[in-house]
């Protein structure tokens, strides 16, 4: 396998793992907030309730 394909495969695995963990810990993905000491990242999607 080429190094580029290996990097892409690793990133794909990390992304799928993060989505799976988020789905397991939250009821939905309409809003996800990650807070740090100095930063806050929020992702909001348009979801119908």
DSSP letters for 14-42 = HHHHHHHHHHHHSS-SSEEEEE-SS-EEE
Per-residue confidence band for 14, with pLDDT thresholds at 50, 70 and 90:
very high
Q: Which two tokens stand for residue 29?
A: 């993905």
Is the pLDDT reported for residue 1 higher than 70?
no
User: Which tokens go with 44?
Assistant: 């909001």
**Residue predicted with more confidence, 37 or 26:** 37
Per the CB < 8 A criterion, the answer to whether 24 and 38 are in contact is no
pTM of the model: 0.53
pLDDT band at 47 (very low <50, low <70, confident <90, very high): confident
Per-residue pLDDT at 18 exceeds 80: yes
Residues 20, 49: Cα–Cα separation, whole Å? 21
Alpha carbons 11 and 6: distance in angstroms, whole number: 9
């Amino acid at each position: 396998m080429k190094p580029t394909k290996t990097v892409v495969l690793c990133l794909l695995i990390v992304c799928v793992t993060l989505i799976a963990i988020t789905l397991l810990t939250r009821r939905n993905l309409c809003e996800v907030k990650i807070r740090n000491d100095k930063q806050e990242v929020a992702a909001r999607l348009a979801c119908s309730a």
